[in-house]
Amino acid sequence: MIKIVETRDYNDMSRKAANVISAQVILKPDSVLGLATGSTPVGCYQTLVHWCEKGDLDFSKVRTVNLDEYQGLEKWHDQSYYYFMRENLFKYVNINLDNTNIPDGSNPDAEAECARYHELIESMGGIDLQLLGIGNNGHIGFNEPADVFADKTHKVELAESTIDANARFFKDRDEVPRFAYTMGIGEIMSAKKILIIASGKAKAPIIREMIKGPVTPKVPASILRFHPDVTLIADVDALSLLNKE
């Protein structure tokens, strides 16, 4: 069962999510954190930066693995997830960059890159706390709606709805990469704890589907209901359809 924490708004969601991550790092300073990109975690990362600057949080022993990366973007492309993580978190906290990991989207050899990433996660002893956002179509990482749940890191073709959603970050829709490398559902489900965050009315239909609909690879996030320790922190808008018939 997914524990649900309702927040007033985006800022309240961000602060509460940061509290959960902060508690994890305080209790286990060498935690392996699974991290996400996108609009939703930005406020949470800003809060973590603030607490780190105040000296309340120490990332020096933390190790990270990100969920996904576009295939074909160089690391320093301003829409790569490598760049996003640098600009939104890593640059501003005392993390050792050697301890941060993101699939290498510039490696054209998908098989080799995905196998490397899977082995890396295993070699780190798995993920202590995985942070997730959710796509409007129910994707987690870039695990798009499909006929089966993918187990390990793999190459995916992005859904048209994901390309539409992410086009806002690019000058032109045509510039959005068509493929990505993403952690698989099996790797995400192996995390000891999962924290999923959501904000805004646009997410309300899929949050309802995740919690109330069938568990199916057509709604990848629905599988989280089979994980023993998942918390959803979401604002009133994102939860607004949950209790409607």
The residues assigned a catalytic role are: 68, 137, 139, 144
Query: CB-wise, 5 or 61, nearer to ligand F6R?
Result: 5
How many whole angstroms separate alpha carbon 117 and alpha carbon 35?
14
To ligand F6R, the closest distance from the beta carbon of 196 in angstroms equals: 9
Query: CB-wise, 61 or 107, nearer to ligand F6R?
Result: 107
Sign of the CA dihedral running 4, 7, 13, 18: negative
How many whole angstroms separate alpha carbon 1 and alpha carbon 189?
14
Query: CB-wise, 56 or 74, nearer to ligand F6R?
Result: 74
Sole binder of ligand F6R in the list 34, 43, 135, 184 (CB under 6 A):
135
To ligand F6R, the closest distance from the beta carbon of 140 in angstroms equals: 6
How many whole angstroms separate alpha carbon 17 and alpha carbon 239?
16
Question: Would residue 218 be called left, alpha or beta, if left means φ above 0 and alpha means ψ between -120 and 50 degrees?
Answer: alpha
Q: Is 159 in the site for ligand F6R (CB under 6 A)?
A: no
Helix, strand or coil, per DSSP, at residue 93: coil
Q: Is 113 in the site for ligand F6R (CB under 6 A)?
A: no
How many whole angstroms separate alpha carbon 195 and alpha carbon 127?
12
To ligand F6R, the closest distance from the beta carbon of 68 in angstroms equals: 5
To ligand F6R, the closest distance from the beta carbon of 31 in angstroms equals: 19
Beta bridge pairs of residue 157: 179
Sole binder of ligand F6R in the list 59, 68, 73, 194 (CB under 6 A):
68
Query: CB-wise, 46 or 61, nearer to ligand F6R?
Result: 46
Under a CB-based contact definition with an 8 Å cutoff, are residues 135 and 165 in contact? Answer: yes
How many whole angstroms separate alpha carbon 197 and alpha carbon 40?
7
Span 17-46, contacts to ligand F6R by CB under 6 A: 36-40
Q: Is 67 in the site for ligand F6R (CB under 6 A)?
A: yes
How many whole angstroms separate alpha carbon 14 and alpha carbon 83?
21
Query: CB-wise, 95 or 131, nearer to ligand F6R?
Result: 131
Q: Is 139 in the site for ligand F6R (CB under 6 A)?
A: yes
How many whole angstroms separate alpha carbon 158 and alpha carbon 143?
9
Q: Is 193 in the site for ligand F6R (CB under 6 A)?
A: no
How many whole angstroms separate alpha carbon 96 and alpha carbon 61?
8
Chain residue whose CB lies nearest ligand F6R: 133
Size of the site for ligand F6R (CB under 6 A): 13
Binding stretches for ligand F6R (CB under 6 A): 36-40, 67-68, 133-135, 139-141
